[in-house]
Structure formats: C-alpha cells, structure tokens
Amino acid sequence: MSKLKPRERDAIVQALRAGVVPKLGLRHIQVGRVREIEELVKDMERIADGGSAIRFVIGEYGSGKTFFMNLIRLVALEKGLVVMFADLAPDRRIHATGGQARGLYAEMARNLSTRTKPDGGALASVVERFVSQAHRDAEEKDVPTGTIIRERLSHFEELTDGFEFAEVIRRYWEGHENGDDELKSAALRWLRGEFATRTDARKALGVRTIVDDASVYDHLKLMSAFVCEAGYKGLLVGLDEMVNLFKLTSSQARNANYEQILRILNDVLQGSAENLGFLMGGTPEFLMNTRRGLYSYEALQSRLAENTFARDGLVDLSGPVVRLASLTPEDLFVLLANVRRVMQDDETALPDTALVAFMNHCSDRIGEAYFRTPRNTVTAFVNLLSVLEQNPGVELSDLIETIDVSEDLGEDMSEVDETAGAQPSGDDDLISFKL
C-alpha cells in the first residue's frame, strides 16, 4: 500500500468523524465489494472506448453508497475521464421549471474534476487545454486559431444548443487572445450554467441561449463531446442523494424527474450517448416504492426490474441496478484495522483483541446493523481512537461501555409521510372518492 500523506490522513479522520465520505485517500480504508468494483471498472473502460453506461447504486442509509461512488469516481479519473458529481437537494433536481435543474448543472460544473485537479474547479483548465491544442495546430498549419476551433467543433452544430456552445468556446479564445479576462470569465460562467437570463448572455457573449432547466441533459452530452475534443476519454456524471426525488410531494414533479431519468436510461441502453456515463445513488425505497419511487413509473420499473434468476445467493451485476452487498463482520474488522492504521502509527497501541471487543459491544447494542450499515460504527470507532490518543492514561476497558452506537435509520426520511393514503389536494390524480 502506498504511503499515507499527512494531508490524506487529516482528510480521512475529519470526514469519518463527521460521518461523511473523505474525498482523499479512499484506497487506504477500502474493503470488500470486489465484484461490484470490477463491474464498474469495466463500465469506465467502456465509456473511455466511446460507449456509455448507467448504474443505480442502491443501498441502505449508512451502507456505503457515497463511499462506493467516490471510489468509482477516483477510478474514472485514473482512466482519463472527466467527472461531474453533485448531490440532489430540494433546490437541485434533474427536471424543474423554477431553476432547480440549472442549479444542479451549475453545481456539477463547479465540481468538474480531472486527474490533475481531482477536487473540482477544473472547467477552466479543460477549456484552456482545448484552446491551447487548437492554437498549436493553427500555428503548424499557419491558419487562424479561430478557424481550427470552428473545424474541431463543427459537428457540435448537429446537437441541441451545440452552435452556441461552440460559439462560447470561440469567444473564450478571443478573450484569451486579446487579454480580455471579462470575456473569458463570461464564457466560463455560461459553460457553468450561471447565466439566469438569455438577455444577460446575449450582452456578454452574443449568444441567444443559456443552460436552462429544459436543456441540462443536452448540455451534459455537449460537455462529454467537448472533453473528448480536449483530449480526455469521456465524462462520468455522478448524482447522489436521489432520495430527494422520492421526497417530492408533487407527483407531477416526481414523474417529470422520472421521465428525464427514463430519457437518459433509454439513450444509454440504446447506444445513443457516447463517452458518457451516469452513476445515481439512492436507497431501496427510492428504487422500489411503487407509490413514490422509480417503480411508480411503469416504464422505469420494467427496465430496472431484477433478474428473476438471480436468487438464493446468485447475483447478476450486468443490469443497471447495483445493489451494494452488506459488509460481513470480517470486512468490518478489516475496515476498523485500516482506520486504526490511518490514525495510529503504532498498531500495538490498540491490539486486535480491542477491535473484537469494540465489535462485540456494537453487536450487543444494535445487532447486525453494526456491519450492514457501518457508518455510525466507524464514526464511533474514530471518536474512541481520538479519546485514547489524546488521553494516554485511559484504557479501552474504561470507555467501551460508554460508547453510544445507534442504528442508522436515515433521519432525513422522517419528513416523508408514507402512512397518508393521499397527497395534498390538487397534487395527485385521485384524492378521494365518495358516492
């Protein structure tokens, strides 16, 4: 295993204490799920070869969905892909009419990452790389750089909003050539979806369209084509916290989002998308609930239904849905040992027998949930190690009974009232019926 850098150690410890996934150093603590990772590595290779892929990563709260998606994100970066990741939220969703979809795109664009800039904010360097290559080609051929840019992006005009996209890239070059930082900044703002009105975009750049709620998916396809022109292998789009669609109270809004997911799914499965992949993370309720989840939309249910032959321990990882298998107690032991290695230089400070005692305590408190949904278990373990590290005279036996570990039930679902038979008036097709 490669040497752990102090920066990675701090990032891992701080993230685990807060119960969130570290963006750095995942390889130092990753355990289990070998088959799922192998399958998604193949997806990344397919995207790099000009294909497309879509996966719904389904798991309980605290089971490691976000960790798994971030691990695949790092794999994609190593394979030469560009990644755009974002969490859905009440003000960020796939389809909307009030700017929420554009807000999601803007968040993804801000988080755009490459291998050399894995923490986001890489859009400017991707555009710079493209125009620099075009400039070198133009000097070799002794033609204006704008001509080369126009040639290399000519096929964009066949795509929705492609002409404007290519025009914005040309305007960026103009700003680069003339030392006009304001023009370059305006071009990047347009590419990030930060213009709220067409009027502002026309004044700043002379283009008549912007990234709006209706064109988010079209712009993701444009971005995948553009990063390939800039020398990358493709684009991976990651959307976590998809349960926020499940929590929408309006059935009309939910169905509009599910229609957009269906459009993406059809494009990918039919081969219409190129060098483009999607990862969507959600809970079993988000997928299987027949009243509010993806299964409430019949066309999606038929496409995402499980393989009926994959029963009695048999698995099929070739479909769009990847169900994260639970960690075993053995996996969790290795995970805790990895966390111990990250936090303590001297492994003898906390022997293996202490790890077993800690796991037994967690098992007594919350049963098998301690390894099926390990987020709270790991957080408690990090807190324990922190106290032991900062209080040299304290023994594990002094603390073990005071450790509070609770089952991860997904508190953010508490606002969804599944017991109510009907949704608010005017929202659903049939509210009540009386003779």
Q: Is 276 helix (H, G, I), strand (E, B) or coil?
A: strand
Amino acid at site 339: V
Q: What's the pLDDT band for 69 if we cut at 50, 70, 90? A: very high
- Residue 283 has a pLDDT of 93
Q: Is the confidence at residue 409, as pLDDT, over 60?
A: no
User: Average pLDDT, stretch 17-38?
Assistant: 84
| 155-159, 185-189, 387-391: which is most confident | 185-189
- Residue 110 has a pLDDT of 96
- Residue 425 has a pLDDT of 39
Interatomic CA distance for residues 152 and 147, integer angstroms: 9
- Residue 252 has a pLDDT of 95
Interatomic CA distance for residues 148 and 174, integer angstroms: 13
* pLDDT, tens digit, 9 for 90 and up, residues 104-117: 999 999 999 999 99
Question: Parallel, antiparallel, or unpaired for β 276-282 and 52-58?
Answer: parallel
| Spatial CA neighbour of 85 closest among 45, 127, 57 | 57
Q: What's the pLDDT band for 434 if we cut at 50, 70, 90? A: low
Residue 218 burial class via C-beta count within 10 angstroms: exposed 0-12, middle 13-18, buried 19 and up: middle
Strand runs (DSSP E) across 101-241, as ranges? 235-240
| 15-29, 311-325, 391-405, 418-432: which is most confident | 15-29
Q: Taking all residues of the chain, what is their mean pLDDT, rounded to a whole number?
A: 87
Q: What's the pLDDT band for 162 if we cut at 50, 70, 90? A: very high
User: Average pLDDT, stretch 344-363?
Assistant: 80
Q: Which strands form 276-282's sheet, in the order they lie side by side?
A: 82-87, 235-240, 276-282, 52-58, 321-323
Lowest-confidence range among 30-44, 91-105, 258-272, 342-356?
Answer: 342-356
Q: What's the pLDDT band for 13 if we cut at 50, 70, 90? A: confident
Amino acid at site 359: M
User: Average pLDDT, stretch 190-202?
Assistant: 95
User: Average pLDDT, stretch 243-264?
Assistant: 95
Q: What's the pLDDT band for 424 if we cut at 50, 70, 90? A: very low
Q: Is the confidence at residue 65, as pLDDT, over 80?
A: yes
* pLDDT, tens digit, 9 for 90 and up, residues 115-154: 999 989 999 999 999 999 999 999 999 999 999 999 999 9
User: Average pLDDT, stretch 401-424?
Assistant: 55
* pLDDT, tens digit, 9 for 90 and up, residues 198-234: 999 999 999 999 999 999 999 999 999 999 999 999 9
- Residue 427 has a pLDDT of 47
Interatomic CA distance for residues 304 and 315, integer angstroms: 15
Interatomic CA distance for residues 34 and 32, integer angstroms: 5
Q: The whole model's pTM is what?
A: 0.85
Q: Is the confidence at residue 101, as pLDDT, over 90?
A: yes
